[in-house]
Amino acid sequence: MFMELKGKEQKLLDLLTVVPLDFSAVKKLLNKEEFSLEEVTRVALGYVDACYDDESRFLGDKNVLFSKEIVPNLHSAYIVEVVRLLLPYGLEPNGIYGYGNIMREIAYMHNEYLGADALALLLENGGDPNLMLPFLEESVFESIDFDAFFGAVEQENRTKYDAWVHAYMVMIGYGAHIREDRIEVFKEYDSEQYFDLKKLRNHRDFYFGLTERKEGISISIYDKETLWEVVRIQ
pLDDT at residue number 210? 95
Check: CB of residue 10 under 8 Å from CB of residue 51.
no
Using alpha carbons only, give the angle 197, 202, 204 rounded to the nearest 5 degrees: 120
Structural domain span for residue 124: 7-177
Rounded to the nearest 10 degrees, the angle between the axes of helix 114-124 and helix 158-173 is 20
Q: What is the CATH number of the domain that holds 128?
A: 1.25.40
Is 123 inside a domain boundary? yes
- In eight-state DSSP terms, residue 66 is T
Number of domains making up the chain: 1
Is 221 inside a domain boundary? no
CA distance 34 to 40: 10
Is 197 inside a domain boundary? no
Is 189 inside a domain boundary? no
Is 160 inside a domain boundary? yes
End-to-end Cα separation, the chain, in angstroms = 29
pLDDT at residue number 173? 98
Per-residue model confidence as pLDDT tens for the chain (234 residues):
566 888 999 999 999 999 999 999 999 999 999 999 999 999 999 999 999 887 666 656 655 666 788 989 899 999 999 999 999 999 999 999 888 899 999 999 889 999 999 999 999 999 999 999 998 899 999 999 999 999 888 777 888 899 999 999 999 999 999 999 999 999 999 999 999 999 999 999 999 999 998 888 999 999 999 999 999 999
Q: Which of 219, 222, 220 is nearest to 149 (CA)?
A: 219
13: left (phi over 0), alpha (psi -120 to 50) or beta: alpha
pLDDT per residue as tens digits for the range 3-45:
688 899 999 999 999 999 999 999 999 999 999 999 999 999 9
Residues near 213 by beta carbon (within 8 Å), at least 6 away in sequence: 234
